[in-house]
């Protein structure tokens, strides 16, 4: 499923990587004349690096015409490619396996980096170098481990120095799907990290090949009949004799060791003929592989100061690559904690940002949506109860839905009974009510009955008065309504997130004595909310960096898709403003004359305390009941007086947007 625009690149890259590796495998095992270890090295490297690996193979190793491999791979830069490919194939395999295991186990990123380095180094040293190259290097397995240790250490240091910061930056940036192996983005980020590691390790591999410390590309010619390998064709051998620098696989400045001088068996000569003198000396004098001063290997290859300098420098590079990101990212996080979360654009994430903060601000995963509703479905519909033994019973169910707020704009919302706002619960003062909540969200939840007087155990705050309701669980709230007026309910578990994503609804309690109701010709409830939608993803809007909203709704719709109240001149309407928004104050204004404020937070104001106004600040959690009289015919607006809140993604549509709706008053416009 395409969740972000980057996913187009992700899937394209993975497809190209598989196709590229398939081509390299087919071409390598159908005639490219080199040892099996290098064949597999190029296949794995291309699988990890995609089209870049294919490019390296074609440019540096693929035989251009029959018999031309020796000449083609001669330049030192190509030998360096072969050496780095061999390094990447082994080290990256260990790193990828370690990254997969540590993510599944749930280890923090800083431990993950250490495990990845150790796994990459050991796999490269013990498997790809000492084991797979044993026939080429000669000697025992233990001797080969000792000989390969320092070159592998230097190469691995450089590779991880390039990989680590790239992986951390991409994995722990906005899109943390990159931390979880079950997400395609994880594999693309690993691929890009390996590309960076290859680039950093390449120069030092060129140097080590030139000093005889590592093997580059090699040529292997097979006999026409199955059996041992043999040397290059006589024509090629004659060309080699005429040109001392024409080594058929290494830099021209390096002399080739004769196979006979190595005491090699015929079975091994074709391989050994492509090895530099320094490597040949390694094979002849395994005791000198420890690089003691005065050994023939050191006289031919690098000096001790050079080795110390390169080793120390590569170690410093590794240290910087592994530790510097800790100044900018929280490396204590695990893939299990935040893998899959996508942060909003502009969110500031530092080493102090916790997993809980990230998860609360993360986008709703579109793959969790269970239903899709258009503009024909309305929120805040009155939910009719059933009566059981004199108790009015309401059933609520939470779920993740896709909810349309404008003709071309939908949000991924948390909803009660598949609507935003949730159903309106209406009952009478003195009623015994029971609300059964079934949770179908990916997170736990609870419900708080805002402003109601009820038993503490029914109040709803998670982990304070009750255990959170987990996915699939059901919880029953039961109380007697002792008040009347305008109230509302909302989530009280992960409140910052869940209420901002749509978990709220109105509670209208009629007074026990109907005469106590402040009558009006019309009754309309307005519930306010903000939304943050970017690139098709919905984030919980909140007043902090990265959380500022760009859409605003009245009863789940943005203008011009909001309702219109139909009235006649002289009629009255009771408008119940509910601050169901979770982080913003809205000064609500009605055109066409002042209104009378008759109730606040569910409490009816005494006649002497009522007052006229044309705007009222509705803060989160506040409620106001106002009576507005239609004095003149025409269309009169209700809107928030913060101008930005009457736009849709910062733009006006048909004269406005967001928190706007009309009162359409019929009658003689001259009155």
Q: Is 502 left (phi over 0), alpha (psi -120 to 50) or beta?
A: left
Distance CA 643, CA 360 (A): 28
Q: Which of 627, 626, 601, 595 is nearest to 613 (CA)?
A: 595
Q: Extract the tokens encoding 658.
A: 């967001």
Q: Which of 449, 403, 458 is nearest to 425 (CA)?
A: 449
For position 310, what pLDDT does the model report? 94
Domain 518-671 has CATH 3.60.21.10: no
For position 255, what pLDDT does the model report? 33
> What are the helix (H) ranges across 389-454?
none
Instruction: Count the residues in the chain.
Output: 671
Distance CA 63, CA 51 (A): 18
Strands 422-428 and 504-510: parallel
For position 135, what pLDDT does the model report? 72
Q: Which residues of the chain have pLDDT under 70?
A: 137, 222-300, 669-671
Q: Can you give the residue ranges of every domain in the chain?
A: 7-48+55-220+227-327, 365-516, 518-671
For position 223, what pLDDT does the model report? 53
CATH class, 365-516 region: mainly beta
Distance CA 82, CA 56 (A): 9
Distance CA 280, CA 278 (A): 5
For position 671, what pLDDT does the model report? 53
For position 141, what pLDDT does the model report? 84
For position 311, what pLDDT does the model report? 94
């Amino acid at each position: 499923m395409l969740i972000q625009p980057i996913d187009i690149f992700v899937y394209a890259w993975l497809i190209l990587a598989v196709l590229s590796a398939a081509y390299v495998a087919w071409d390598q095992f159908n005639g490219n004349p080199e040892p099996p270890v290098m064949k597999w090295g190029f296949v794995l490297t291309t699988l990890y690096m995609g089209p870049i690996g294919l490019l390296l193979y074609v440019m540096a190793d693929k035989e251009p015409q029959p018999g031309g491999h020796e000449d083609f791979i001669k330049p030192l830069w190509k030998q360096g490619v072969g050496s780095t490919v061999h390094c990447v194939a082994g080290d990256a395999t260990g790193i990828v396996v370690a990254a997969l295991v540590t993510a599944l186990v749930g280890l923090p990123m800083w431990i993950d980096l250490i495990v990845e380095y150790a796994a990459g180094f050991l796999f490269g040293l013990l498997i790809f170098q000492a084991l797979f190259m044993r026939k080429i290097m000669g000697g025992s397995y233990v001797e080969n481990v000792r000989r390969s240790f320092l070159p592998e250490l230097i190469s691995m240091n450089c590779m991880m120095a390039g990989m680590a910061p790239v992986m951390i930056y991409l994995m722990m940036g906005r899109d943390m799907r990159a931390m979880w192996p079950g997400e395609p983005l994880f594999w693309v980020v690993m691929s890009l990290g390996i590309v960076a590691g290859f680039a950093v390790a390449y120069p030092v591999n060129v140097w080590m090949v030139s000093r005889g410390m590592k093997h580059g590309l090699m040529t292997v010619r097979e006999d026409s009949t199955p059996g041992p390998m043999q040397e290059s064709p006589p024509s090629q051998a004659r060309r080699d004799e005429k040109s001392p620098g024409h080594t058929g696989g290494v830099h021209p400045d390096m002399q080739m060791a004769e196979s006979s001088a190595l005491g090699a068996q015929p079975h091994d000569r074709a391989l050994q003929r492509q090895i530099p003198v320094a490597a040949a000396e390694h094979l002849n004098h395994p005791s000198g592989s420890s690089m003691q001063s005065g050994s023939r290997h050191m006289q031919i290859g690098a000096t001790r100061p050079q080795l110390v300098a390169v080793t120390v420098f590569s170690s410093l590079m590794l240290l910087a690559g592994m530790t510097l990101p800790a100044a900018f990212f929280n490396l204590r996080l695990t893939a299990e904690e935040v893998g899959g979360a996508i942060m909003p654009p502009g969110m500031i994430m530092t080493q102090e940002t916790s997993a809980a903060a990230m998860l609360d601000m993360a986008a709703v995963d579109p793959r969790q949506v269970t239903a899709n509703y258009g503009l024909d479905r309305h929120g805040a519909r009155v939910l009719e109860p059933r009566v059981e033994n004199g108790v009015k019973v309401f059933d609520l169910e939470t779920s993740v839905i896709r909810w349309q707020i404008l003709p071309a704009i939908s949000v991924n919302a948390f909803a009660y009974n598949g609507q935003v706002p949730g159903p309106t619960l209406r009952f009478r003062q003195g009623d015994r009510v029971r609300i059964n909540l079934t949770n179908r969200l990916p997170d736990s939840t609870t419900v708080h009955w805002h402003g109601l007087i009820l038993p503490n155990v029914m109040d709803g705050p998670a982990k304070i008065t009750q255990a959170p309701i987990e996915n699939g669980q059901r919880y029953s709230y039961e109380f007697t309504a002792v008040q009347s007026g305008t109230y509302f309910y909302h989530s009280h578990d992960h409140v910052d997130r869940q209420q901002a994503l749509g978990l709220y609804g109105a509670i209208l309690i009629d007074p026990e004595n109907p005469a106590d109701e402040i009558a009006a010709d019309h009754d309309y409830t307005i519930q306010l909310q903000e939304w943050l939608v970017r690139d098709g993803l919905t984030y919980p809007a909140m007043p902090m960096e990265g959380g500022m909203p760009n859409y605003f709704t009245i009863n789940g719709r943005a203008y011009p898709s909001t309702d219109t109240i139909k009235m006649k001149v002289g009629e009255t309407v009771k408008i119940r403003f509910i601050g169901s928004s979770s982080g913003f104050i809205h000064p609500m204004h009605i055109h066409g004359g002042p209104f009378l404020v008759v109730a606040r937070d569910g409490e009816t104001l005494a006649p002497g305390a009522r007052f006229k106004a044309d705007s009222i600040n509705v803060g989160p959690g506040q409620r106001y009941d106002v009576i507005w009289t239609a004095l003149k015919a025409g269309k009169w607006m209700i809107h928030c007086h913060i101008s930005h809140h009457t736009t849709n993604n910062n733009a006006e549509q048909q004269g406005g947007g967001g928190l706007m709706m009309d009162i359409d008053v019929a009658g003689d416009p001259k009155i």
